[in-house]
A and B are shown apart, each in its own frame.
Chain A
Amino acid sequence: MRTKQVYLDYAATTPIDPRVLKAMLPYLKEKFGNSISLYRLGQESKKALEKTRLIAAQAIKAISKEEIIFTSSATESNNFALKGIAFANQKRGKHIIISSIEHDCILKSALWLEKQGFKITQIKPDKYGLIDPKEIEKAIKKNTILVSIIHGNNEIGTIQPIEKIGDICQKKGVYFHTDAVQTFGKIPINVQKMKVNLLTASSHKIYGPKGAALLYIKKGTKIDPLLHGGAHEFGLRSSTVNIPAIIGFGKAIEICQKQMKTETKKLIQLRDQLIKGILKKIPQSHLNGHPKKRLPNNANFWFSFIEGESIITSLDEHGIAASTGSACSSESLKPSHVLLSCGLRPEYAHGSLRLTLGRWTTQKDINYVLNVLPKVIKNLREISPFKL
Chain B
Amino acid sequence: MYNKKVLQHFKNPHNFGKIPNADGEGQVGNIVCGDVMNLYLKIGKNKKEEEIIKEIKFETFGCVAAIATSSIITDIAKGKTIAEAIKLNKDNIIDTLEELPPVKIHCSVLAIDALQEAIYEYLKKNKKTIPQELEKHHQRIQNEKKMIEKKYAGWIE
Contact = CB atoms under 8 A, between A and B. Distances in A.
A384 B151 contact: no
B67 A310 contact: yes
Contacts of A1: none
Interface string B26-43: 010000111111100000
A382 interface: yes
Interface in B1-17: 2, 7, 10-11, 13, 16-17
A385 B34 contact: no
B16 A382 contact: yes
Interface of B: 2, 7, 10-11, 13, 16-17, 27, 32-38, 58-67, 103, 151-152, 155-156
A130 to B, nearest CB: 25
B62 A310 contact: yes
Contacts of A313: 2, 7, 10, 64
Contact of A333 (B7, B17, B33, B59): B33
A304 B154 CA distance: 11
A30 interface: no
A327 interface: yes
Given A310-B63, A326-B63, A385-B37, A305 B155 contact: yes
B129 to A, nearest CB: 30
Contacts of B62: 307, 310, 328
A385 B64 contact: no
A384 B152 CA distance: 14
Main SS at interface, chain B: mixed
Contacts of A333: 32-33, 103
A383 to B, nearest CB: 5
Contacts of A328: 33, 35, 62-66
B103 A331 contact: yes
B153 to A, nearest CB: 10
A179 interface: no
Residue among A306, A328, A350, A382 with max Cβ neighbours from chain B (10 Å): A328
A317 to B, nearest CB: 6
Interface in A369-388: 382-386
B11 A317 contact: yes
Contacts of B152: 347, 386
B64 A383 contact: no
Residue among B33, B35, B151 with max Cβ neighbours from chain A (10 Å): B33
B61 A305 contact: yes
B34 A347 contact: yes
Contacts of B33: 327-328, 333, 350
B15 to A, nearest CB: 11
Given A383-B59, A385-B37, A385-B59, A310 B103 contact: no
A385 B11 contact: no
Contacts of B37: 385
Interface in A320-339: 326-329, 331, 333
Contacts of A385: 27, 36-38, 59-61
Contacts of B61: 305-307, 384-386
9 contacts: A307-B63, A313-B7, A327-B34, A328-B65, A346-B34, A346-B151, A350-B33, A383-B60, A386-B156
A339 to B, nearest CB: 13
A34 B65 CA distance: 49
A155 interface: no
Contacts of A317: 11
A314 B152 CA distance: 24
Interface in A165-180: none
A276 to B, nearest CB: 27
Given A329-B63, A347-B151, A307 B7 contact: no
A128 B13 CA distance: 37
A383 B13 contact: yes
A191 B9 CA distance: 52
